[in-house]
Amino acid sequence: MSTADTAIRTVLFDLDGTLADTAPDLAYALNILLAEEGRPAMPYELVRPAASHGSIAVIKVGFGIQPEDEGFEELKQRFLDIYEKNLDVHTCIFPGLEPVLDKIEQLGMNWGVVTNKPGWLTEPVLESLNLTQRAVCVVSGDTLPERKPHPAPLLHACNIAGSEAAQCLYIGDAERDIIAGQRAGMKTLVALFGYLGENDQPESWPADGMVSTPAEILDWLR
């Protein structure tokens, strides 16, 4: 491919912790469940790092149990029921990302979402943020049999967007995002403004770069 053929045409975002700040509503749902179970509320700063890793991670943080432990599955299902009813209370696009999306569109590029969050939760979140019609593609955790870090969801998004993998930039806040993007043959960025925990070491992930603010994404598109 020539340089022109490998210029970025499509920007793909992870959802939780990259495109949308969903942690407040995930923490809200967890604390409702904790109250139902007669437990004290969990401080938000302890829940936030788990928000990128789904309901299993949130229940592990909230209750200190593992998926194989008795009652885990029931707690997870109740958590998801509560979250589904409260997923747009505080959730918003990360501050500074709206101008980035506008600029991507102004440049004649397109953008989409690739997340491990199931479609029945992904779709209402994007709808509440008025992003559904703007995204060229939305690939959820149950769109395909494979999920990140497998590259298949990202390659599927490329096909829908009409771009080659080398023409795509994938942005995420978890190591699996960067691994998936690399395996797919895309450029990758770590969203440091996302839900990284104290044990994460993004500098050791195989990313092409890291951005501390959404505005820095535009530097990678020029």
Please identify every residue annotated as catalytic: 14
User: CA angle, corner 143, sides to 207 and 169, nearest 5?
Assistant: 25
Assess contact for 209 and 63: CB atoms under 8 A: no
Per-residue exposure over 178-211, b if at least 16 CB sit within 10 Å of its own CB, e if not: bbbbbbbebbbbbbebbbbeeebebeebebeeeb
Say if residues 200 and 216 touch (Cβ distance below 8 Å).
Answer: no
What's the first-to-final CA gap in the chain, in angstroms? Answer: 19
**Six-digit token string for 171:** 């942005």
Distances (CA, A) of 52 to 7, 82, 101, 139: 29, 18, 21, 16
d(C-alpha 204, C-alpha 33), whole Å? 36
Six token digits for residue 105: 């569109």
